[in-house]
Structure 1
Amino acid sequence: MPAPSASVPSSLRIAIVGAGQIGSTFARQLARAGHDVAVVARPGSVRLAQLQRDGAIVDSGGGRAGVRVFDRLDATIAYDLVIVTLLAHQVDAVIPDLQRSAAACVQFMGNMFDPDRLRHAIGAERCAFGMPFVQAMLDGNGRLTATIGAGGQKTIIGRHESVDVFNAADLPAVLEPDMPLWLRCHAPLCIAFQSISIAGVRRNGGASWTEALVLARGVHACFALIERLGFPVYPRSKRLMARSPAAGLAAVLWAMSRIRSFRDLLATGKSECVALVDMIAAAGAGIAAPDLVARIVAMKPGG
């Protein structure tokens, strides 16, 4: 483990709200880096019971990273950083605790279409965003297997201080100067990847061309809505995608649905996928033409 950079305190008080695959990976790495890590899991959940039993994040090889375990965020503790790894449609349940929290920074890590809503709820001065790029799974006994930095992938974060903390904890990260806009424009692709993976699993080998084309047209409709809402499509790679024929993106989605590792990784996100579609379609109500909203709604996974 590399020594922390001069800009990273040797020990921060960090809470991680959400103890699933991503939250557990973050907790393990940050605890191993010497930080005081608290993990908040859903009351009554199997995962909470596992963490209470172990008092640690336990990996598949038996390695342990000690953490404190809670079923609710203690708003009186002045955490240096609270990391929220819940799915976008699960966040509302913890917003009251986050609003009351004495934490210096609340950082949401995951897919979302309307980050401005959370900045307004938490306060722009202490609200930050990011997108995790790690691959992880928990087995039935709560043991973690995580792949970090595969293929040079780096977690994207919109806060300098958090980038330093993550890198010092062997969680490769890079700064994104406009993280809220990045997330808004990434949500359509997240839906497309998850939905095409679900279709591929349902067909036991790959999605149909029709399914891929429906999703590609839906991504274009989402980008058009983003522009109607007054935002540019960002970054340049997505802007080029928005201007390219839908058939090109459809071909990519069709091919990716035939890669088993891709399907297995993303086909578990049906609830998140449906929730994101609903959020984007709601944003288009009364602003976008009905046919554009219909193309967005058509992105929901079937089956």
Structure 2
Amino acid sequence: MLAPSSPLRIAVLGAGKIGSTFAFQLARIGHHDVTVIARPGSLRLQQLERDGGIIDVKGERAAMRVASALDEDTPYDLVIVTLLAHQTDALLPALRRSAAKCIQFMFNTFHPERLQEAVGAARCAFGMPFVQAMLTAEGRLKATIGAGGQKTIMGQQRWVDVFNAAGVPAKCEPDMPLWLRCHVPLCVAFESVSVAGERRGGGASWGEALVLAQGVHASFTLIKGLGYDLYPSAKTRIDRSPAWVVAAVLWLMSRIRSFRELLATGKAECINLVDVLVAATPSAKAPVNVSAIEAMRPI
């Protein structure tokens, strides 16, 4: 196992809020050799090139290499992909050709096996970030890490050790692919209720929350109909709870301003995940309420 104190060559693909947070911590606190990769021609790339890395709102700077594309010939110890699932397809050929030793996808996905097949299961890893972050108009990073005991979860202990040593609380989840698949319905519900709450300026309506709760139940039925168990056990408890109980939780969460403002930025991801769920329904071996899943799509 790689010692967390050993400097590693790490590339962070995606320089948004999450990618910038990871790159900053891994470079400044973890003292790793980090390359951050932003979209060619983007304002974010210009900001990173101007600063020679990432600067936070306190003025602290994490120096790192800045690039507009992944160097496929560099044998990175780890490539962290922080884009969203629907943004990653165009990059899979480069990731497949890459000499990277491990490629870790850090986003929610309903079909993790597809990513494993694309880059090779032996060097594919998964994770789910749990940090709160934003970028100012000038490109300065404001990150809150570990709030409320939150920990980023990953499927391999060696990367948990690296992240913990870099000041990003993390824990290992032994069945990350199934965890991600079963988290998709909740991810959709959280983002959609936040979009509704922002649209109303203070929280979703009870009717909107109830529609999303019914969609969560229908999505869990889909997962079971595809032959998977609900995982972890908390998902089973949610599945067995009456829709009004799930709706009450969503309704209350949409009234927490920080939660609502953060998750409402995921509208595009939410729409894509709903489309993925709906596309999977013909393969289910049991009837699925497709309209309930479609109704989760934010407007």
TM class by shorter chain equals over 0.9
1:15 aligns with 2:14: no
The match for 1:196 is: 193
Matches of 1:272 and 1:289, distance apart in 2? 27
SS in 2 for 1:267: helix
**Correspondence list, 1:106-255, <5 A:** 106-255=103-252
Matches of 2:147 and 2:15, distance apart in 1? 22
8 Å CA contact retained: 2:128, 2:154: yes
Matches of 1:26 and 1:276, distance apart in 2? 24
8 Å CA contact retained: 1:192, 1:215: yes
Q: CA deviation at 1:289?
A: 6.8
SS in 2 for 1:269: helix
Q: CA deviation at 1:285?
A: 2.7
Relative to the length of structure 1, the TM-score reads 0.96
The match for 1:44 is: 41
What amino acid is the match of 1:167? N
Matches of 2:2 and 2:173, distance apart in 1? 21
Identity %: 65
Structure 1 residues not aligned, in runs of 5+ = none
8 Å CA contact retained: 1:285, 1:293: no
8 Å CA contact retained: 2:106, 2:129: yes
Which residue among 232, 253, 256 is the counterpart of 2:253?
Answer: 256
1:30 aligns with 2:32: no
Matches of 2:39 and 2:295, distance apart in 1? 32
Which residue among 68, 80, 85 is the counterpart of 1:83?
Answer: 80
8 Å CA contact retained: 2:48, 2:66: yes
Structure 2 residues not aligned, in runs of 5+ = none
The match for 1:268 is: 265
What amino acid is the match of 2:291? A
RMSD: 1.4
CA shift in 2, pair 1:83/1:6, >3 Å: closer
The match for 1:293 is: 290
Relative to the length of structure 2, the TM-score reads 0.97
Give a deviation string over 1:174-226, Cα, whole Å, max 9, x none. 00000000000011101000000110111111111111011000001111100
What amino acid is the match of 2:233? R
- Give aligned pairs, total: 298
1:53 aligns with 2:43: no
Matches of 2:277 and 2:122, distance apart in 1? 26
8 Å CA contact retained: 2:281, 2:288: no
SS in 1 for 2:57: coil
8 Å CA contact retained: 1:187, 1:276: yes
Matches of 2:100 and 2:109, distance apart in 1? 22
8 Å CA contact retained: 2:195, 2:260: yes
Matches of 1:134 and 1:212, distance apart in 2? 25
Q: CA deviation at 1:287?
A: 3.1
1:100 aligns with 2:102: no
